[in-house]
Amino acid sequence: LVLILDFGSQYTHLITRRVRQLGVLSLCVSGTAPLSSLAGLRPRAVVLSGGPHSVHAPGAPSFPDGFLGFAAAAGAHVLGVCYGMQLLVQTLGGAVEPGVRQEYGDMEVDITAPSSALYGEAGDRQSVWMSHGDEVVRLPEGFEVVARSVQGAIAAIEHREKRFYGLQYHPEVTHSPQGMETLRHFLFDVCGIKADWKMQDVLDEEIKTIQSMVGPDEHVICALSGGVDSTVAATLVHNAIGDRLHCVFVDNGLLRYKEQERVMSTFNSDLHLPVTCIDASEKFLSELKGVKDPETKRKIIGREFIVVFDELARMLEQKLGKRPEYLVQGTLYPDVIESCPPPGSGRTHSHTIKSHHNVGGLPKDMKLKLIEPLKLLFKDEVRKLGSILNVPESFLKRHPFPGPGLAVRVIGDVTAGNALEVLRQVDEIFIQAIKDAGLYDEIWQAFAVFLPVQTVGVQGDQRTHSHVVALRAITSEDGMTANWYDFERQFLVDVVKKICNNVRGVNRVVLDVTSKPPATVEWE
């Protein structure tokens, strides 16, 4: 296990991913998490992430007292990256000061030590990605400088005996071309870790955990949305406990065009998982009536899902003579990270980005206990797991669809006018055009957004005062960061014409050309 302490850098999750790409399980926790929350973990390596703070700023985050003792007791090697290196140096008695030369962007570093643990046999000059204002000016006792930037700043340090290492630059970003090699060398050659984290092991492990958690006569409920995550989660749990899993598809009134029919027919024909459909659309929509605030909408939807599950549990209790105690959810790692930003990251709970309904939006008094077998995985990892579980390609390749559905794509009150119906039609035309153009698999996610804005148009010589819709298509690896997809001009011309000619109530279409960050993928 590699433990990553997050001090708020936008690149922290990339460190987590890089380590996993090297075949090693990595977990990212808040840099200020109390030591008690790490009990039981025995990391072979610890990475202290970068962060936006200066170690001298009031309230700058630091690992808890005793953390370095905990790491030493586990036999872990500790690598500080950028802020993480400065924190390590300051904690151990060295000095960090505002840099005379602030270094941002591409930079050359010279490896000054003839042989170092960090670089081994690496060549003597590397191009790396720097992003720091402060710099280390005095090393703690026993440390050695092993690389310097061409401007003279300390770029890499180590204390082999104590197993402390530091990199002032970011090896995790692609702008550091040899960074992955440095991480590989650190994990395998320095820490002696083996690349043994495989999807098949994750699967076996999860199945064992679920079998030991759910007693032999206990039953479990699973809400299937027809998306990748819940389908893979359900298939995995079905492998573990068989027909004691009861799958339900909830129509919350916030689904896409013909979603209910399409999903139910695929579950029955491709997946062989018995699924019950519950139509709760009236209740969801009446609870959402007049609500405009995005977080309130998300919380209401989270709460209403649980009302449905509790009701289902009651019905199953009558049928089976035993009330299901557990609920399966396809929660992913990014949902967990984004719903609960680590306190040490500089994003406090008041800066929660959005409450993903299956995490932050759950009511505190929920009776069902959660089974979240994908909680530690990124989307692309879930797709790999799904293919080991023989989940059909048609499911694995579906674009992600958020739990709160179209509610986060109708800006403001979802029940206003016929917003949902208009959005469904626009979305269907857009997605169908993408499929027809053979672009569906190239795009990570695409959808339309309904704006509560009316503009003046002219259609068939008539003045119109109709709605604006936005189109969004992105490329991404894991939904944590994203770029907007650059369609060819003719594709857009055709799709806009089709929307305005076929959907009543829309006279203007705009294209979202914002990446994440600064925007998020969904508009709410």
521 contacts ligand XMP (rule: CB under 6 A)? yes
Contact 391, 271 (CB under 8 A): yes
Report the site for ligand XMP in 437-456 (rule: CB under 6 A).
445
Write the single-letter amino acid at 59. G
Query: How many whole angstroms from its chain centre is CA 338?
Result: 7
Contact 405, 254 (CB under 8 A): yes
375 contacts ligand XMP (rule: CB under 6 A)? no
Q: Which of 357, 384, 424, 467 binds ligand XMP (CB under 6 A)?
A: 357
Both structure tokens of 90: 């300051």
Task: Say whether 82 is catalytic.
Answer: yes
Stretch of 100-108, 416-424, 461-469, 513-521 lying at the interface with ligand XMP (CB under 6 A): 513-521
Contact pattern for ligand XMP over residues 455 through 494, marking x by CB under 6 A: ------------------------x---------------
Q: What angle do CA 297, 277, 310 make, to 5 degrees?
A: 60
- DSSP symbols for 227-281: SHHHHHHHHHHHHHHGGGEEEEEEE-S---TTHHHHHHHHIIIII---EEEEE-H
- Whether 250 has a binding-site annotation, put simply, is no
Contact 84, 48 (CB under 8 A): yes
Q: Which of 206, 403, 412, 466 binds ligand XMP (CB under 6 A)?
A: 403
- How near is the Cβ of 516 to ligand XMP at its closest, in Å? 5
- Whether 49 has a binding-site annotation, put simply, is no
Q: Which is nearer to ligand XMP, 60 or 474 (CB)?
A: 474
Residue 240 phi, psi (nearest 5): -80, -40
Report the site for ligand XMP in 292-321 (rule: CB under 6 A).
none
Task: Say whether 381 is catalytic.
Answer: no
Q: Which of 402, 409, 449, 451 binds ligand XMP (CB under 6 A)?
A: 402
For residue 79, what are the CA distances in angstroms to 89, 184, 219, 286? 11, 13, 45, 53
Among 170, 185, 246, 357, which one carries the catalytic annotation?
170
- Whether 228 has a binding-site annotation, put simply, is yes
- How near is the Cβ of 366 to ligand XMP at its closest, in Å? 16
Q: Which residues contact 413 (CB under 8 A, 6 or more apart)?
A: 288, 289, 290, 291, 292, 419, 452
Q: Which residues contact 134 (CB under 8 A, 6 or more apart)?
A: 54, 55, 56, 86, 96, 97, 98, 99
- How near is the Cβ of 424 to ligand XMP at its closest, in Å? 17
- How near is the Cβ of 312 to ligand XMP at its closest, in Å? 19
- Whether 229 has a binding-site annotation, put simply, is yes
Decide: residue 486, CB within 10 A, 0-12 exposed, 13-18 middle, 19+ buried. Answer: exposed
Task: Say whether 103 is catalytic.
Answer: no
405 contacts ligand XMP (rule: CB under 6 A)? no
- How near is the Cβ of 328 to ligand XMP at its closest, in Å? 13
Q: Which is nearer to ligand XMP, 295 or 311 (CB)?
A: 295
Report how many helices (DSSP H) and strands (DSSP E) the chain contains, helices first.
14, 18
Helix (H) or strand (E) holding 482, with range, is: strand 482-484
Q: Which is nearer to ligand XMP, 260 or 514 (CB)?
A: 514
Q: Which amino acids are annotated as binding site for ATP, given as ranges? A: 225-231
Q: Which residues bind ligand XMP (CB under 6 A)?
A: 338, 354, 356-358, 400, 402-404, 445, 479, 516, 520-522
